[in-house]
Amino acid sequence: MVNEMWDPSSGQGGWNLRFHRDFNDWELDLIRGLLNMLRDFRITSEEDVVLWKGGGHGKYGVKVAYKGLAVINACTFPSKCVWVDKVPTKAAFFAWKAAWGKILTLDRLQKRGWQLPNRCFLCGCEEESVNHILLHCIVVRALWEIVLALVGVQWVFPVLVKEALFSWRGSFVGKKRKKIWNSIPLYIFWTVWKERNRLAFKGGVLDIQKLKNSFVCTLWSWARVYIGEESSSLLGFLEWLAAT
């Protein structure tokens, strides 16, 4: 108890700290800092009372408490990065679930009680989680690198899918290209998840080059709703996208 460390017998009272062991040399500065901090505090003889810091008068109120909890639990969500104009609903909805960490990866199935070995279906090296399979898997990184190399950008990958969506900025691309740029993570997520499910439920061997081609062709196909003559050929589309 705090009052056990307070000595009221000398004048206005003072701290009487009792330590259970001698200090190491490197701890002396810490102790001096503690004593300097405690010097400004005094214990009174008044009986302790409970005060509610959330209210203006120290009294608890349901309304004030609710508002406080609502602010604490308010979770910023990258809505504009998920619900991108003209992106197919199925891809946007999947990205929405992924951002909340709700897609059924092996780690989540294990938490639900399924007795399953947890290995990423794509790389076979790491455990499968939403952040691994959509961001950090070495196979998936190959898809991200296609786009980053195309526009000459280096990007530090965030830990979480939600953070990746927030930080995927296209300030260096034009207005027309920015619509494509903003939708790229959604296309990567969708392409990767389809391939993951194919390997999980149908078996087979991963063909990384085929996966790359699938992503680029899907991006090109869906990008046609934004652009005109630049999409007449795949090569023309890639050259147009790279011309930031």
67 and 108 both lie in a single domain: no
123 and 193 both lie in a single domain: yes
Average pLDDT of the segment spanning 149-166: 88
When mean pLDDT is compared over 16-30, 45-59, 182-196, the highest value belongs to: 182-196
Residue 75 buriedness (CB in 10 A; 0-12 / 13-18 / 19+): exposed
Which positions ≥6 away from 109 have C-beta within 8 Å?
Answer: 116
224 and 127 both lie in a single domain: yes
For the record, the structure tokens of 17 come out as 């700290």
Average pLDDT of the segment spanning 71-85: 73
CA 80-164-118 angle, to 5 degrees, is 125
69 and 138 both lie in a single domain: no
Residue reference for tokens 């990767």: 192
90 and 21 both lie in a single domain: no
Domain boundary among 42, 73, 104: 73
190 and 97 both lie in a single domain: yes
How many Cα atoms occupy the beta-carbon half-sphere of 21 within 13 Å? Answer: 4
62 and 164 both lie in a single domain: no
Residue 137 buriedness (CB in 10 A; 0-12 / 13-18 / 19+): buried
202 and 224 both lie in a single domain: yes
Torsional class of 203: left (φ above 0), alpha (ψ -120 to 50), beta (otherwise): left
Three-state DSSP state, 6: strand
Average pLDDT of the segment spanning 53-75: 69
Is residue 79 within 8 Å of 165, Cβ to Cβ? no
Q: What pLDDT was estimated at residue 178?
A: 78
Three-state DSSP state, 14: strand
Q: What pLDDT was estimated at residue 73?
A: 47
Three-state DSSP state, 77: coil
89 and 172 both lie in a single domain: yes
Residue reference for tokens 């608890």: 60
Three-state DSSP state, 42: coil
Q: Which domain holds residue 23?
A: 2-73
pLDDT exceeds 90 at position 15: no
| Rounded Cα gap, residues 41 and 38, in angstroms | 5
107 and 189 both lie in a single domain: yes
Chain Cα centroid distance, residue 95: 13
Tell me the per-residue pLDDT of 88-127, one tens digit each, with 9 for 90 and over.
Answer: 899 999 999 999 999 999 999 999 988 889 999 999 999 9
For the record, the structure tokens of 121 come out as 């279906």
Domain boundary among 19, 52, 73: 73
**How many Å is the maximal CA-CA distance in the chain?**
91
Q: What pLDDT was estimated at residue 128?
A: 96
235 and 127 both lie in a single domain: yes
In the chain, which ranges are continuous DSSP H helix?
A: 28-38, 62-73, 79-82, 89-99, 106-111, 130-131, 138-151, 161-167, 175-202, 208-223, 234-242
Domain boundary among 73, 92, 108: 73
Total structural domains within the chain: 2
| Rounded Cα gap, residues 125 and 200, in angstroms | 15
pTM (2 decimals)?
0.66
Tell me the per-residue pLDDT of 192-223, one tens digit each, with 9 for 90 and over.
Answer: 999 999 999 998 899 999 999 999 888 888 87
107 and 152 both lie in a single domain: yes
CA 157-135-192 angle, to 5 degrees, is 150
